[in-house]
Structure 1
Amino acid sequence: MLDLGTSFLASVSRDPDALAVVDGDTRLTYAQWYRRISALVAGLDRMGLKPGDHILTVMQNRWENASLHWAAQFSGLIVTPLNWRAKGDEIDYAVGDAGARAVFHEEVTEEALRQSQGAADLPCAAAGELAAIMEADAPDARPRAGAEDWSLMLYTSGTTSRPKGVPRRHRAERAGAVAHVAQNLYRHGERTLGVMPLYHTMGVRSLIASSLIGGAFVCMPRFDAGRAVALIEREAITNLYLVPTLYHDMLHDPAFSPDRVATVSKLGFAGASMTDGLLKKLQEAFRPELFVNHYGSSEIYTFTIEQDAAGKPGSAGRAGINQMIRVVKLDAASPDDVAGPGEEGEIVALLEGDESFEGYWNRPDADAKALRQGWYFTGDTGFLDEDGDLFVTGRVDDMIITGGENVSPVEVESCLSLHDRVAEVAVVGLPDERWGKIVTAFVKRSGEVSAEELDEHCRASGLANFRRPRRIVFVDEIPKSPVGKVLRRMLVAGDYRPEGAATPGYPQKAE
């Protein structure tokens, strides 16, 4: 397997005059970008950085950030990206945990950097300084890292504990990108909307995959639905790889029309389940050649792939080309304790796959919990249907046990999403003295609809009585993470804004 620096050189050799990166008025071919990246490699050397050093990046998806990612691959540095919304204490944690040797930032992250004690003693450079460095002449950069060296360390979201570092080698990063190209049937010269952040596995995969096919990575520093539609139209974007929330926002923006996105032939999503209602609307609006549900994680890029997401709603498909998966019984002690067909359990993935990580950074406690007998225990729940396709039903911790019955939030959400006056929905279990938990739906409306009407919709859909929400709360917004994952814990904690006054729910009784 090639290291990523050599991989980029191969792209330059293969497609020197092809458009490689776009960011506003900046438009660079592979040959032009390589010259800028080489200058940045020389600049990193002048900062005293050595192979194996971690560099912390707190930047949006701008061309300087993408260039820094590639320069680090040539230099043998470990890119350690943080959410550009990170606060000072989060920067402090990452600096200390990774042992970072330098920090790279931009205007919108300067205040957080000033609040960071850990960053104060490190060399820092802003995006404008990186751009200036890349104007200089420098020798052509040569790769200093091998396929077995570390390339990247992503941090998991840390919703219940401090974030975990996920170090990944060059070979695993490139294997994930090759699989991404194959599994999404990308053609030579595809144009990718580079809006998924480069601190997230989806954003990094889009960047690397684009280079493998001589494609263009069109930077969008910060998502805005109307601007995304305009950028797709202006740059003739051919594929989209987004979390469901961004698709939802784009589809419902006044600027959206099928004609403006007609160049898009492939849709892909990951990061969260997509409701049946949104799948249907996207299929009708885009009429894509391919509609891919990619199920994976930062730790192991691909678990499974479904290439006809709209044709089989809810299906996450089958194991990717570098992977094997199983569904084991809930609370299984061994990966051999396999669940039966249709039985809900925990999804586990083989660690021997080419895209896999090897363990968390300095977290033996996390390794002991997630890595067992050569398998990665994902913490996700799901089942295999009669065709052998995987259906992901949620997180082990999200499972609602009501009156002794297991209820998957995803199934209830998909049912409610098919109502034409439901814009968004999230389902959780709230404490109840009699039932343990009651199924509660938080709904953002797109038109007038009552709780009683939604209850009737659930009845008519065939949703089992014990799965029907016993309470509905209408809200102004569903709380989400920066990459669009629903934050169910906030709903459980009462951290949401009701729509107007409190909304009465269903009678809390069994039927």
Structure 2
Amino acid sequence: MFDLGRSFLASVERRPQAIAVADGTLHKSYETWYYDIQSVARALEGFGLGKGDHLLVVMQNRWQMATLHWACQFAGIIVTPVNWRSTAQDIEFFIADTEARVIAYDESASEAVYASPSAQLLVHIIAGDVEDQSGHSFDSLLGGQGNTVLRATADDPSLMLYTSGTSGKPKGVPRLHRVERAAALAHVAQNLYRHDECTLGVMPLYHTMGVRSLLSMALIDGKFVCIPKFDPAATLDAIERERVSNLYLVPTLYHMLIEHADFASERVSSVEKLGYAGAPMSAGLIARVEEAFSPSLFVNHYGCSEIYTFTIDQDASAKPGSSGRAALNQRIRVVRVGTDSPDDVVPMGEEGEIIADMNGDEAFQGYWHRPDADQKSLKQGWYFTSDTGYFDVDGDLFVTGRVDDLIITGGENVSPAEIEDILSLHPQVEEVVVVGLPDERWGSIVTAFVKTRITIDEEELDRHCLERELARFKRPRRYFFVDEIPKSPVGKILRRVLREQDASPVTNLSTQ
């Protein structure tokens, strides 16, 4: 099987003059970019990095970061991208965990890098507007001459992503070249991409969705359009300017795009295919996105950093909430919550924990130096996701949340996703998140945090739930009307933040 360096080289040989990457006014063909990538790969080796070493990268999405990613694929170096919002303490942890000797960063992370004592002992590669007299500017790595760098094999590590670390320290997820290539090929097939595709590179390159967009375009000689960080106006400009043909975003970013004052369907007319992942998309948002884009393909991806894709649904608007069926390289099951056995499968329609086959082509091999995490998640050849869900009568999977998100109220199990779907269909509800808050009488009470378009009251939303035939025990008993829903840097809802809030509720309906 090809490694990723050879995969990129194949695109260079097929269509050397095709535009490979765009970043503002900068456009580079596959041939030109390849020369840059090779020069950077030689420079990295000149800094003492060899096969199996880590390059720590703390940058926003820019062509320099994408170049470093590809240079590592040729050199056999493990590219290790981390959140550019990382603190100095985070940087200290990443350096200790990876034993990195070189760090690449831009102005978005310079303050944290300067404040990290360990970072000062490393070789620095700097991009953008950074004042670092001891560092090597990225531009100084370009233009070098030498032998072709093509060191990696399909069984060498390609990159290491870090999980979000909602509890404890982040966990490193190393992934092999063949695993990354299999995931990218499946992404191409499942999204029906063709060779002249152009995608928006706005999902961070420290996130599995961003990496998948980068790799999939290179496999089909496509164009990757860098967006340093999401801004609705700048994103709309890029879509229109570059004639972007597909989008792969978290639901939050779709919401922000179509709600922006500058949005118009004509500006995004080049977009034919939509994909989303990272979180469920409510039925209300699905309908609005469908109307705004009129896509020929609308794909819901369900997966994670460890095993890229679990399931896909290529017609997301036909059955809102469905995650579809197992992806090309995967098998999935739903087992009883709390079991260690992959054979403890629950009946159709019953909620349980979702597990995935570790023999799939896209699966990682285990966490980086974390046997405790392996023991918790890897059992008898299966990956236990900690996600909850169920299969419906058609065999489609519905993901209902995390094991920890399941609300147990009065002894009944309640899925937040079901309630969020119903509330999202109210025309004046812009965003909604449902969590369980502690309650002396019920254990937990169903609580909705709602961002509205205009002022409405809780009685109106309660009526809406009843009209939609939501069972009474599932109805929110408390409503909070909020200006914003807290989200992570990649747009995931931070339910933990909502569960920890201590403000007084707008109303309490627990006695109704």
Whether TM exceeds 0.5 here: the answer is yes
Is the 1:469–1:506 contact (alpha carbons within 8 Å) kept by the matching residues of 2? no
Q: Map 1:159-198 to 2 at 5 A.
A: 159-198=166-205
SS of equivalent to 2:65:
helix
Which residue is 2:221 aligned to? 214
- 1:357 to 2:364 alignment: yes
Segments of structure 1 that go 5 or more residues without pairing to the other structure are: none
- 1:504 to 2:511 alignment: no
- 1:224 to 2:224 alignment: no
User: Cα distance, 1:403 vs. partner?
Assistant: 0.3
Which residue is 1:313 aligned to? 320
- 1:156 to 2:156 alignment: no
Match of 1:347 among 344, 349, 354: 354
Structure 2 CA distance, aligned partners of 1:507 and 1:408?
19
Is the 2:20–2:224 contact (alpha carbons within 8 Å) kept by the matching residues of 1? yes
Is the 1:5–1:142 contact (alpha carbons within 8 Å) kept by the matching residues of 2? no
Structure 2 CA distance, aligned partners of 1:80 and 1:42?
18
User: Cα distance, 1:425 vs. partner?
Assistant: 0.8
Is the 1:479–1:487 contact (alpha carbons within 8 Å) kept by the matching residues of 2? yes
What is the CA deviation profile of residues 448-503 of structure 1, one whole-angstrom value per residue up to 9, with x for unaligned ones? 211110110111011111110000001111111101111111111117xx7xxx55
- 1:368 to 2:375 alignment: yes
- The one-letter amino acid of 2:349's match is G
Segments of structure 2 that go 5 or more residues without pairing to the other structure are: 129-135
User: Cα distance, 1:131 vs. partner?
Assistant: 3.8
User: Cα distance, 1:169 vs. partner?
Assistant: 0.3
Is the 2:41–2:149 contact (alpha carbons within 8 Å) kept by the matching residues of 1? no
SS of equivalent to 2:42:
helix
- Percent of aligned pairs with the same amino acid: 59
- 1:84 to 2:84 alignment: yes
SS of equivalent to 2:404:
helix
- The one-letter amino acid of 2:438's match is P
Structure 2 CA distance, aligned partners of 1:175 and 1:169?
10
Structure 1 CA distance, aligned partners of 2:478 and 2:233?
34
Which residue is 2:329 aligned to? 322
Structure 2 CA distance, aligned partners of 1:117 and 1:133?
25
What is the CA deviation profile of residues 343-362 of structure 1, one whole-angstrom value per residue up to 9, with x for unaligned ones? 00000000000000010001
User: Cα distance, 1:130 vs. partner?
Assistant: 5.0
Q: Map 1:295-314 to 2 at 5 A.
A: 295-314=302-321
- The one-letter amino acid of 1:105's match is Y
User: Cα distance, 1:124 vs. partner?
Assistant: 0.9
- 1:261 to 2:268 alignment: yes
What is the CA deviation profile of residues 58-101 of structure 1, one whole-angstrom value per residue up to 9, with x for unaligned ones? 00000000000000011110011110000000010010011112
Structure 1 CA distance, aligned partners of 2:31 and 2:86?
34
- 1:21 to 2:21 alignment: yes
Which residue is 2:132 aligned to? none
Is the 2:173–2:306 contact (alpha carbons within 8 Å) kept by the matching residues of 1? yes
SS of equivalent to 1:108:
coil
- 1:448 to 2:455 alignment: yes
Structure 2 CA distance, aligned partners of 1:105 and 1:190?
29
User: Cα distance, 1:140 vs. partner?
Assistant: 5.6
Tell me which moved more, 44-53 or 127-136.
Answer: 127-136
User: Cα distance, 1:132 vs. partner?
Assistant: 1.3
Which residue is 1:9 aligned to? 9
Which residue is 1:486 aligned to? 493
Structure 2 CA distance, aligned partners of 1:137 and 1:362?
36
Structure 1 CA distance, aligned partners of 2:138 and 2:230?
22
Is the 2:203–2:249 contact (alpha carbons within 8 Å) kept by the matching residues of 1? yes
Aligned residues: 505
Structure 2 CA distance, aligned partners of 1:171 and 1:367?
21
Structure 2 CA distance, aligned partners of 1:241 and 1:7?
22
Which residue is 1:119 aligned to? 119
- The one-letter amino acid of 1:269's match is Y
User: Cα distance, 1:133 vs. partner?
Assistant: 2.9
- The one-letter amino acid of 1:383's match is Y
SS of equivalent to 2:290:
helix
Which residue is 1:63 aligned to? 63
RMSD, matched Cα: 1.1
Structure 2 CA distance, aligned partners of 1:108 and 1:214?
30
Is the 2:478–2:505 contact (alpha carbons within 8 Å) kept by the matching residues of 1? no
Is the 1:229–1:260 contact (alpha carbons within 8 Å) kept by the matching residues of 2? yes
Change in Cα spacing, 1:503 to 1:433, as seen in structure 2 (3 Å) is closer
What is the CA deviation profile of residues 139-188 of structure 1, one whole-angstrom value per residue up to 9, with x for unaligned ones? 36331010000011000000011100000000000000000000000011
Structure 1 CA distance, aligned partners of 2:455 and 2:63?
44
